[in-house]
Structure 1
Amino acid sequence: MFESAEIGHAVDKDTYKAQVPALREALLEAQYDLQQQARMPVIILINGIEGAGKGETVKLLNEWMDPRLIEVRTFDAQTDEELARPPAWRYWRQLPAKGRMAVFFGNWYSQMIQDRVHGRFKDAVLDQAINEAERLEQMLCDEGALIFKFWFHLSHKQMKKRLETLKDDPLHSWRISPLDWQQSKTYKRFVRFGERVLRRTSRDYAPWHVIEGADPHYRSLAVGNILLEGLQAALKQPVTPVHQAMAPLGESLDKRSLLRSLDLTKALEKDDYEKQLTAEQARFSLLMRDKRMRRHALVAVFEGNDAAGKGGAIRRVAAALDPRQYHIVPIAAPTQDELAQPYLWRFWRQIPARGQFTVFDRSWYGRVLVERVEGFASQADWMRAYGEINDFEEQLRRSGVIVVKFWLSIDQKTQLERFKAREKIPFKRYKITDDDWRNRDKWDLYADAVNDMVDRTSTEVSPWTLVEANDKHYARVKVLRTLGDALEEAFKKSDKKG
Structure 2
Amino acid sequence: MFRTAELQRKLPKGDYHQQIPQLRQELLMMQMELREADFPVIVVFAGVDGAGKSETVNKLHEWMDSRWLVARAFGELSDEERDRPEYWRFWRELPPKGRIALFLSSWYSVPILDHVYGRVGLAEFDERLARIKSFEKTLADDGALILKFWMHLSKDAQKERLRKLEKNPLLHWQISKRDWRHWELYDQFVAAAERTIMKTSTGLAPWKIVEGYDARYRSISVAIAIRDAIRFRLEEAKTQAAGAAVHLPEPFPSESGLPPVTILSRLDMDKSLSKEDYTAGLKRYQSQLNQLQRAARERRISTILVFEGWDAAGKGGSIRRITTALDARDYQVIQIAAPTDEEAAHNYLWRFWRHLPRAGRVTIFDRSWYGRVLVERIEGFAGTREWQRAYAEINDFEAQLVESGIVLVKFWLHITPDEQLQRFKEREQIAYKAWKLTDEDWRNRERWADYELAVNDLVERTSTHQAPWSLIEANDKRHARVEVLRTLCERLETALAGQPKPPK
| TM-score of the superposed pair, with normalisation by structure 1 | 0.51
Shift in CA distance, 422/385, structure 1 to aligned 2, threshold 3 Å? same
Corresponding residue for 1:322? 327
1:434 aligns with 2:415: no
Structure 2 distance, partners of 1:243, 1:335, is 25
- Counterparts of residues 58-457 of structure 1 (less than 5 Å): 243=247, 245=249, 248-249=253-254, 253-290=258-295, 294-457=299-462
Superposition RMSD in Å = 3.4
Task: Name the counterpart of 1:470.
Answer: 475
Deviations 1:333-380 (A, max 9, x none): 011101100110001111111100000000000010000110111110
Offset at residue 293 of structure 1 (A)? 5.2
Report the counterpart of residue 494 of structure 2 in structure 1.
489
Look up the equivalent residue of 1:430 and give its one-letter code: W
Distance 2:466 2:244 in 1: 35
Letter in 1 for 2:359: R
Q: Secondary structure at the match of 2:337?
A: coil
CA distance in 1, matches of 2:244, 2:364: 34
Map 1:10-89 → 2, pairs under 5 A: none
Please state how far the C-alpha of 1:256 moved relative to its aligned partner.
3.7
Shift of 1:386: 0.4
Say whether the 8 Å CA contact 1:287–1:293 is kept in structure 2: no
Residues 267 and 338 (structure 1), Cα distance of their counterparts in 2 relative to 1, 3 Å cut: same
**Separation of aligned partners in 1, 2:360 and 2:131:** 27
Do 2:262 and 2:452's aligned partners in 1 also have CA atoms closer than 8 Å? no
Distance between the aligned counterparts of 2:257 and 2:398, measured in 1?
A: 26
Which of structures 1 and 2 has the bigger CA Rg? 1
Q: State the distance in 2 between where 1:324 and 1:127 align.
A: 42
Cα distance in 1 for residues equivalent to 2:246 and 2:293: 43
CA offsets 1:300-348 (integer angstroms, 9 cap, x no match): 0000011100000001111001111100000000111011001100011
Letter in 1 for 2:484: V
Distance change in 2, residues 1:447/1:360 (3 Å): same
Structure 1: runs of 5+ lacking an equivalent: 1-122, 143-238
8 A contact 1:373–1:445 mirrored in 2:
yes
Which SS does the other structure have where 1:306 is aligned? coil
Runs of 4+ in structure 1 deviating by more than 6 angstroms, as ranges, are: 123-136, 239-242
Question: Is the alpha carbon distance of 1:366 and 1:244 closer, same or farther for their aligned partners in structure 2, counting shifts above 3 Å?
Answer: farther
Distance 1:262 1:456 in 2: 19
**TM-score normalised by L of structure 2:** 0.51
Distance 1:264 1:328 in 2: 28
Identity of counterpart residues, as a percentage?
Answer: 51
Q: Cα 1:408–1:449, aligned 2, differ >3 Å: closer, same or farther?
A: same
- CA spacing shift, 1:455–1:242, aligned 2, 3 Å: farther
Query: Which amino acid letter does the alignment assign opposite residue 284 of structure 1?
Result: L
Partners of 2:339 and 2:244 in 1: CA distance = 20
CA contact (8 A) 2:414 2:474 kept: yes
Does the CA-based 8 Å contact 1:351-1:358 persist in structure 2?
yes
CA–CA separation in structure 1 for the residues paired with 2:316 and 2:132: 38
Distance 1:413 1:127, change over 3 A: closer
- Give CA-to-partner distance per residue, 1:7-34, whole Å, 9 cap, x none: xxxxxxxxxxxxxxxxxxxxxxxxxxxx
Distance 1:473 1:436 in 2: 23
The answer on whether the counterparts of 1:243 and 1:377 sit within 8 Å (CA) in structure 2 is no
Distance 1:415 1:291, change over 3 A: closer
- 1:486 Cα deviation after fit: 0.5
What is the Cα deviation at residue 260 of structure 1?
1.0
State the AA in 2 paired with 1:336: D
User: CA separation in 1, counterparts of 2:452 and 2:326?
Assistant: 33
Structure 2: distance between partners of 1:285 and 1:459: 27
**Deviation at residue 125 of structure 1 after TM alignment:** 6.5
- Aligned residue type for 2:320: R
Counterpart in the other structure of 1:164: none
Paired residue type of 1:409? H
In the alignment, structure 2 segments of 5+ residues that lack a partner are: 1-120, 141-242
Given that 2:296 and 2:496 are in contact with CA atoms closer than 8 Å, whether structure 1 keeps it comes out as: no
Q: Number of matched residues? A: 278
Distance 1:389 1:361, change over 3 A: same
Measured after TM superposition, the shift of residue 133 of structure 1 is: 13
- Change in Cα spacing, 1:255 to 1:128, as seen in structure 2 (3 Å) is same
Displacement after TM superposition at 1:299 (Å): 0.4
1:251 deviates by 7.8
